[in-house]
Amino acid sequence: MFLLEKHRSLPAYVPGDHEEGEGFIRLNTNESPYPPSPGVAAAVAKEISKLGYYNDPDCTQLRRALAQRYGVAENQVIAANGSDELLYFAFLAFADSGHPIALPDITYGYYDLFAASLGIPLEKIPLREDFTLDYKNYLGIGKTIVFPNPNAPTGYAIPLWQIREIAKSNPQNVLIIDEAYVDFGAESALQLIGECENLLIVRTFSKSRSMAGARIGFGFAQAGLIAELETIRNAVNLYSVSRMAQAAGTAAILEDDYYMDNCRRIVEARDYTTRMLREQGFEVLDSLGNFVFAKPSAMSAAALKAQLRERGILVRHWNQERVRDYLRITIGTMQEMQALDAAIEMIFGRA
């Protein structure tokens, strides 16, 4: 009724089905199957009595913990309410109707929505036929660029030297590398921020650190670029990282070995899942994320998704050009992936 005309055609983001627990194995939203580390509950509980007071807008403790963990200065770190918020701030800061954003045609779906809501035109650059990203397409493009590395939902990463080339060839524009999935085996571009003043690395606690529901994102860049993002955060939502989130994130970083061990388990389960699906006749991309992108041969991806759901297993499917033959399957525990194996055997009638 009151919504501006220009917002009426905003596409809906379709999240993965959200059945909580209730017997479902959730392999559809790239969450972690493991709970947060033991120190997180105590740290969050300690904040409860202080909820009457505003949280620290500078996220001092969390940023300090992250700076120490990653060997950067505190003013090279920003925290946000999930990496989605940080990405939104970056879009708001660096692009508008006269300053488009370049990105791959197959990638994380929220970039489209952020851009649509802000009136930012997108230049979608097709991935190669085999879903790999050709970095040469981004050289000297003269636009803000964003993509995840590894990309979603393919799981393919490009090497650091290619990221460096893209950054160096677009000195007037920001290159946003979304490292939501970097802890599962890809190389972080963090070491490039010293030499690339236009590079922004975006990270999250939602995948490798088991806290999608806490909404904690963070970013690394040179201090000047971080200060520019803080200008936006200050104007839009200064207190966006709650007391509980700041405490949870800080406690988690102090127990980081726990999360890195879980990442190793997930990588093992990913290798198992890739082999298993190939044995079941799927085409499977070699993913560096906590998910695999796989094309079944025995039936359509949409039909298999529906049949898995009937057996209590949720996976992700997009009814979109280029990807509708594929399912994106999040890597859970080994036990969950064995349950997936058994369910597929049953569905394909081989059990």
| Both tokens assigned to 67 | 């700076």
Whether 255 contacts 208, CB under 8 Å: no
Indicate whether 28 belongs to the interface with ligand PMP (CB under 6 A): no
Which of the stretches 81-89, 188-196, 251-259, 331-339 binds ligand PMP when contact is defined by CB under 6 A?
81-89
| Distance (Å, whole) CA 166 – CA 127 | 16
Counted residue by residue, the chain has a size of: 351
Q: Which is nearer to ligand PMP, 153 or 296 (CB)?
A: 153
Among 25, 44, 84, 175, which residue sits at the site for ligand PMP (rule: CB under 6 A)? 84
Give min distance, CB of 213 to ligand PMP, in A: 9
- SS3 string, 180-200, reads CCHHHCCCCCHHHCCCCCCEE
**How far is it, in rounded angstroms, from Cα 194 to Cα 199?**
9
Q: Does 101 bind ligand PMP (CB under 6 A)?
A: no
How many C-alpha atoms does 263 have within 13 Å on its Cβ side?
19
Select the span of 43-51, 80-88, 256-264, 279-287 touching ligand PMP (CB under 6 A).
80-88
Residue of 102, 82, 87, 267 lying closest to 186 (CA atoms): 267
Name the one range near ligand PMP by CB under 6 A: 79-87, 247-255, 296-304, 337-345.
79-87
238 vs 153: CA distance, rounded Å: 32
* Residue 157 in the binding site for ligand PMP (CB under 6 A): no
Q: Which stretch binds ligand PMP (CB under 6 A): 40-48, 68-76, 78-86, 295-303?
A: 78-86
Question: Among 206, 273, 274, 290, which residue interacts with ligand PMP (rule: CB under 6 A)?
Answer: 206
Contact pick of 26, 27, 28, 30 for ligand PMP (by CB under 6 A): 30
Distance from C-alpha of 84 to C-alpha of 217, rounded to nearest angstrom: 8
* Residues forming the site for ligand PMP (CB under 6 A): 30, 82-84, 108, 148, 152, 178, 180, 204, 206, 212, 217
